Amino acid sequence: MTNEVAVWGDKEKTNWLTEQVIQRSYLDEVVSKLDGFKNIFNISQYGALSYAPKKYPLFIVINLNFDTSKKNILITGGVHGYETSGVHGALSFLEKEVDNYIDQFNIMVAPCVSPWGYETINRWNPNTIDPNRSFFKDGRSEECNLLMQEIAAMKIDMFAHIDLHETTDTDNSVFRPALEKRDGVTQELWDIPDGFYLVGDTENPSFDFQKAMIDAVRKVTHIAPADKNGKIIGKTITQEGVINYPIKKLNLCAGFSNAIYCSTTEVYPDSPKIKYDDCVKAQVAAIKGGLDYLLSKYS
């Protein structure tokens, strides 16, 4: 996946880009909220996307009382900008829950890694690159490179990293067909699972950590059932609501930080069973479930 060879040339990519429409404002809906956290967080700008730096400054919030003796937690949202509850789940965690954890952990939150994707409701960046396949050195996603550089410059060991995502109906109706066209490769199709699930790391599955997150989310929304073959999105589940990917090999966001505990959340916003608010609550519940597990095990 790292060596995708696009059959689209510059012309096709430009055509695709001209079809994309700004549908909401990153500055209004995300950046404007960060000021509200400055009593306990340093709001740190780690760069700006070169194609529109004024529109897309990038921020990570880091607790002011950073203590090198504490374990470091990274939360990322909006790596896929269209996955709205990832962005607003990260903000909601900061707003409503972070007080319960800030004494025990250093907490870093990058709420919207791909803001152009947020504004245009897109999986890719403007260069038709999927950021969540691009967390590798000197990769082609500026969104990823800037975040990786920022975290590397901190010279800290990451204890846990939770990356907030959604799996949407448009994955099958819009984004997978576009990927097929870009690369000229037929994509495996699977049913979009109705419910919440997690993607852990095949190399470091952290079974109990994942279970704690699922158990916390279950109180807020339903967990995705496996299909008749025991799979979710084509992968055999390892426990209820959990599949594992080789996340480092795939250059997924949850892998770049080398955290001891890592997980990718996947909320299903198109379910007839839930409202949008439940998606945000599910993201927050997942973070809390993970952090509560770490506190019970290590404090």
CA-nearest of 104, 92, 95, 81 to 41 is: 95
Amino acid present at 80: H
Nearer to Zn ion, 150 or 163 (CB): 163
Q: Does 248 bind Zn ion (CB under 5 A)?
A: no
Nearer to Zn ion, 47 or 77 (CB): 77
Segment interacting with Zn ion (CB under 5 A) among 52-60, 76-84, 98-106, 179-187: 76-84
Task: Output the CA torsion 70→292→161→111 (10° steps).
Answer: -100
Give least dist CB 129 to Zn ion, A: 14
Copy the structure tokens of residue 121. Answer: 């409701």
Give least dist CB 128 to Zn ion, A: 16
Nearer to Zn ion, 71 or 80 (CB): 80
Q: Does 80 bind Zn ion (CB under 5 A)?
A: yes
- Cα separation of 215 and 242, whole Å? 11
Segment interacting with Zn ion (CB under 5 A) among 72-80, 88-96, 104-112, 285-293: 72-80
Nearer to Zn ion, 144 or 294 (CB): 144
Give least dist CB 224 to Zn ion, A: 15
How many residues bind Zn ion (CB under 5 A)? The answer is 3
Nearer to Zn ion, 161 or 165 (CB): 165
Give least dist CB 168 to Zn ion, A: 9
CA-nearest of 291, 281, 294, 297 to 96 is: 281
Among 71, 133, 161, 165, binds Zn ion (CB under 5 A): 165
Give least dist CB 167 to Zn ion, A: 7
Please name the residue that has the structure tokens 């909220």. 33
Nearer to Zn ion, 83 or 119 (CB): 83
Give least dist CB 253 to Zn ion, A: 9
Give least dist CB 163 to Zn ion, A: 8
Q: Does 133 bind Zn ion (CB under 5 A)?
A: no
Q: Which residues are near Zn ion by CB under 5 A?
A: 80, 83, 165
